[in-house]
Amino acid sequence: MSEMLQDLRDLLAGPGGQQYLGEQVSVAAHLLQAAGLARAASAADHLVVAALLHDVGHILPPVPGETPGPDADDRHDARGADWLARWFGPEVTEPVRLHVAAKRYLCTVDPHYVAVLSEASAQSLRLQGGTMSPAEIAGFESAAHHGAAVAVRRWDDEAKDPDRPAPDFSEFTAALRAAASGA
């Protein structure tokens, strides 16, 4: 358990310090803000952790030979979920895996949602497949954790505010421990 906490702390303190893909916050600030929003919404521990770690795939060490070009989806959602599976069960990993699909879904089913996206998020939507077809909508809605992924996605969208203080990682230790013990 302490190894998991240290690995995550180191990841956020190291590579997490880089700017978050065209946003005005670092990756770490984005993730900590998202977790803070989930906590403020009285979300269950596993959802707070999913919000905290939803973009961890962006800051994992690169896999040799798998570095995508600037016009390709980096598949950070699947990569992050797969990496997190060593500590967490599907209540955490599946909302992480589905948070990009949740953006595509919301852009398709909610005509007002596109206006919520930051400029960088709107640009990445194209690389991630754009809006969903009716078959993709049905597939997403049938996924066991699609509702949790939509919640994580909404916190993701709000967590890009350079004026919002980011909580400290230590504030989420209890949630991380509780979510990991459920794995």
Domain enclosing residue 157, as ranges: 2-181
Render each residue's pLDDT in the chain as its tens digit; 183 residues.
Answer: 789 999 999 999 999 999 888 889 999 999 999 999 999 999 999 999 999 999 999 999 876 666 554 444 568 899 999 999 999 999 999 999 999 999 999 999 998 999 999 888 888 898 889 999 999 999 999 999 999 999 999 999 999 999 999 999 999 999 999 999 765
Q: What is the CATH number of the domain that holds 48?
A: 1.10.3210.10
Number of domains observed in the structure of the chain: 1
In this prediction the pTM is 0.92
Q: Give the three-state DSSP class for 20.
A: coil
CA nearest 54: which of 38, 69, 72, 70? Answer: 38
Classify residue 144 by its DSSP letter.
T
